Amino acid sequence: MAWQWFHRLGSPRWFYEKTGPWMPWLAVLSAVLLISGAVWGLAFAPADMKQGNSYRIIYIHVPAAFLALAGYYIMAISGAIGLIWKMKLADMVMKSAAPIGAVLTFVALVTGAIWGKPTWGTWWVWDARITSMLILFFLYLGVIALQEAYQHQDTANKASAILALVGTVNIPIIYKSVDWWYTLHQPATIKFTSESTIHPSMLYPLLTMVIGFYCFYALVLLLRTRSEVLEREKKTRWVQDLARQG
């Protein structure tokens, strides 16, 4: 009985019908969190004692980087589920997660470069954190490319799932790179084991943005997966009925 929900997930139709009502709620929630977090962080949070106002790019940079890493696990784990249980929906989630992750990684790299110029004095440096983040971007691009590289969807899923699984080793490397090696990038500010070294007046808007990014990620992932469900199931009766209803 405990596994029933898991097997139900194997049905794209069940997934499509179940997630439909969530979408407006997720959209409203992420809009409220992102707008309030951005206004709070950009307009009301105090300036930093050393960096002044230029630190405010943290409110985009850090949430984007968080989700780029978390999104990779979502992609790799659904790839593994697709490999092991041959679950169609898991393959669709993997395919949908890749472009979102690539965009978030790109945003983290670009905002990092824009932040680096006024603080470090350079746009780019080949330190461990930045280089491993660039590798993450290439891994996402690889999964996207493999999805398009094969005639048969099953072969494409298998190949991209294996690439995604091999790439998971990069995630702990990115996370720990600033502790393992000498880097220009700062070590982590938000710590899970000890007190964060950011003043609460700056931390709360940052956390709002992080939660907002999570909601927005869930929204975009569900949207993409739902349209993938319709695309792949377009020959089935229930999708055609849905299309006829308009």
Partner 1 sequence: MHPVRKQRLILVVFVVAFSCLAVGLLTYALRENINLFYPPSSIVAGQAPVDKRIRAGGCVLPGQVKRAADSLDVNFLITDGAANVEVHYSGILPDLFAEGEAVVVNGSLNGDGVFMATEVLAKHDETYMPPEVSDSIQQSGALNAANSGQHQATCEGMQYGS
211 lines the binding site for partner 1 (CB under 8 A): no
Closest to 92 measured CA to CA, from 191, 240, 232: 232
Amino acid at 97: A
Cβ(209)–Cβ(38) below 8 Å: yes
Cβ(128)–Cβ(177) below 8 Å: yes
For 162-192, give one letter per residue: b (16+ CB within 10 A) or e. ebbeebbebbebbeebbeeeebbbeeeeeee
CB of 48 to partner 1, least distance (A): 5
CB of 66 to partner 1, least distance (A): 15
Q: Which is nearer to partner 1, 184 or 218 (CB)?
A: 184
5 lines the binding site for partner 1 (CB under 8 A): no
Q: Which two tokens stand for residue 3?
A: 């596994």
Q: Which is nearer to partner 1, 19 or 131 (CB)?
A: 131
Residue from 20, 28, 187, 234 in contact with partner 1 (CB under 8 A): 187
Q: Which two tokens stand for residue 235?
A: 């020959």
198 lines the binding site for partner 1 (CB under 8 A): yes
Amino acid at 203: L
165 lines the binding site for partner 1 (CB under 8 A): yes
46 lines the binding site for partner 1 (CB under 8 A): yes
Q: Which is nearer to partner 1, 148 or 182 (CB)?
A: 182
Residues binding partner 1 (CB under 8 A): 46-51, 55, 58, 80, 83-85, 118-122, 125-128, 162, 165-166, 168-170, 173, 178-184, 186-189, 197-199, 201-202
